[in-house]
């Protein structure tokens, strides 16, 4: 076992040694759907997302384990056909694998887009921010209530100070293991408003909504892990087999002022059941970050969200987040968890980052279970091409 761990660590270190100098050979990162420079009407570029992790996990019993892991290995292509049609196809090769972004997008006008395929359902701010937009290792425990990937069609309209997206969605594309993030079919949408749009201050507000109906009684189970796939499953509901529909409402806000950014979100999910009592789960988080080297945060007006401006090269960032999720409702006792995370990031250039996140999660399975504590520390090398 020790030999295998050493070999795995050596492999990860070798990959990292190849990635770091390789980033210097690439030009600045193009936008998500643009191809390489050129005059042709058909453009295509390869896509690679790679996260190499060193992980330390200490569960409630106090026995610490340390290991290396490939958290993300996502490959694909992206590009455009002419000036109005864009496409993106990605396959995740690590973990359980499966398709991620796989869509085509038509932009008949600079402010309008029609997108069809497999994509993140437009409900949650945290879910809509991709891994490259986040410097903490994983999303919050409240993200267990977000719909995640879904297959469907959506229409988006954006202006200087607002965005509106509405679509119709079904289950996500199933991978070879037959997994999917949610059942049922229905509408989802998100609207944002840049309430304050000054040179120094930007204040963002938004709301998301999803309602899915199951043609037959669907099975619904919600679970949350501490620090993504590395920590234990801290809270989990039983599988409810009589769910008629699912409704999720998300409220979000953010403030950006130069090198400082704060964002918060509150999510409520209602399950309407045929025979049992309806249930309501809730969760939320508050997150703050600071670019300590004089860098600044920017605002993506097309997507309606704050983002880290990494196109200027090297940067240093410190972050913190407090999140919670409550899966106790009526006769359902899924448990409650509160997580506190702090982290730091060194952005070596616009393609390469080194981050470290320490998280402590206190949780109580069910209503009467004993309170437990778990600690997860993740150090990550992230590369994107």
DSSP assignments along 119-183, one per residue? EE-TT-HHHHS-GGG--SSS--GGGGGS--EEEEEEEEEE-SSEEEEEEEEEPPPP-TT---S--
Using DSSP's 3-state secondary structure scheme, residue 273 falls into strand
* pTM of structure: 0.86
Backbone angles phi, psi at 368, to 5 degrees: -110, 0
CA distance 239 to 219: 6
CA distance 255 to 224: 27
Using DSSP's 3-state secondary structure scheme, residue 276 falls into coil
pLDDT computed for residue 349 by the predictor: 85
Residues 6+ positions from 302 with CB-CB distance below 8 Å: 158, 163
In angstroms, the Cα distances linking 167 to 53, 123, 244 are: 35, 10, 20
Backbone angles phi, psi at 275, to 5 degrees: -115, -45
In angstroms, the Cα distances linking 53 to 13, 28, 254 are: 10, 24, 29
pLDDT tens over the chain, length 385 residues: 454 454 444 444 444 444 444 444 444 444 455 544 444 589 999 999 999 999 999 988 878 999 999 999 999 999 999 999 999 999 999 887 889 999 999 999 999 999 999 999 999 999 999 776 788 999 999 999 999 999 999 999 999 999 999 999 999 986 544 444 567 899 999 999 999 999 999 999 999 999 999 876 667 889 888 888 888 888 999 888 888 999 999 999 999 999 999 999 999 999 999 888 899 999 999 999 999 987 889 999 999 999 876 555 578 999 999 999 999 998 899 999 999 999 999 988 888 999 999 999 999 987 777 899 999 999 999 999 8
pLDDT computed for residue 9 by the predictor: 46
Q: pLDDT of 53-98, one tens digit each?
A: 999 999 888 789 999 999 999 999 999 999 999 999 999 998 878 8
CATH number for 34-384: choose from 2.40.160.10, 3.30.360.10, 1.10.3720.10, 1.20.1260.10: 2.40.160.10
Residues facing residue 328 across a β-bridge:
333
Domain boundaries, the chain: 34-384
């Amino acid at each position: 076992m020790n030999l295998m761990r050493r070999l795995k660590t050596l492999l990860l270190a070798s990959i990292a040694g190849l990635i770091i100098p390789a980033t210097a050979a690439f030009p600045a990162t193009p936008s998500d759907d643009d191809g390489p420079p050129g005059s042709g009407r058909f453009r295509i570029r390869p896509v690679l997302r790679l996260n190499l992790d060193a992980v330390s996990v200490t569960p409630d019993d106090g026995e610490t384990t340390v290991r290396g892991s490939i958290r993300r290995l996502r490959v694909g292509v992206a590009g455009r056909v002419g000036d109005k049609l864009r496409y993106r196809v990605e396959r995740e090769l690590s973990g359980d694998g499966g398709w991620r972004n796989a869509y085509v997008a038509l932009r008949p006008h600079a402010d309008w887009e029609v997108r069809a395929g497999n994509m993140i359902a437009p409900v949650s701010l945290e879910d809509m921010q991709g891994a490259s937009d986040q410097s903490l290792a994983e999303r919050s425990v409240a993200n267990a209530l977000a719909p995640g990937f879904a297959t469907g069609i959506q229409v988006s309209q954006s202006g200087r100070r607002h965005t509106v997206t509405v679509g119709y969605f079904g289950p996500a594309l199933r991978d070879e293991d037959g997994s999917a993030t949610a059942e049922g079919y229905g509408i989802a949408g998100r609207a944002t408003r840049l309430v304050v749009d000054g040179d120094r201050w930007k204040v963002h507000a938004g709301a998301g909504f999803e309602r899915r109906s199951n043609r037959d009684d669907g099975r619904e189970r919600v679970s949350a892990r501490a620090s993504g796939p590395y920590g234990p499953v801290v809270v989990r509901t039983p599988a409810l087999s009589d769910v008629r529909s699912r409704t999720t409402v998300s409220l979000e806000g953010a403030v950006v002022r130069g090198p400082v950014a704060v964002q918060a979100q509150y999510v409520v999910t209602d399950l309407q059941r045929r025979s049992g009592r309806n249930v309501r789960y809730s969760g939320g988080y508050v997150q703050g970050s600071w670019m300590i080297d004089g860098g600044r945060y920017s605002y993506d007006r097309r997507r309606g969200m704050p983002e880290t401006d990494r196109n200027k090269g090297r940067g240093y960032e410190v972050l913190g987040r407090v999140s919670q999720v409550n899966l106790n409702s009526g006769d359902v006792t899924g448990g409650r968890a509160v997580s506190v995370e702090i982290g730091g990031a060194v952005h070596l250039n616009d393609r390469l980052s080194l981050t470290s996140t320490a998280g402590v999660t206190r949780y109580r399975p069910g209503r009467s279970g004993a309170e437990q504590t778990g600690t997860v520390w993740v150090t990550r090398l992230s590369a994107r091409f």
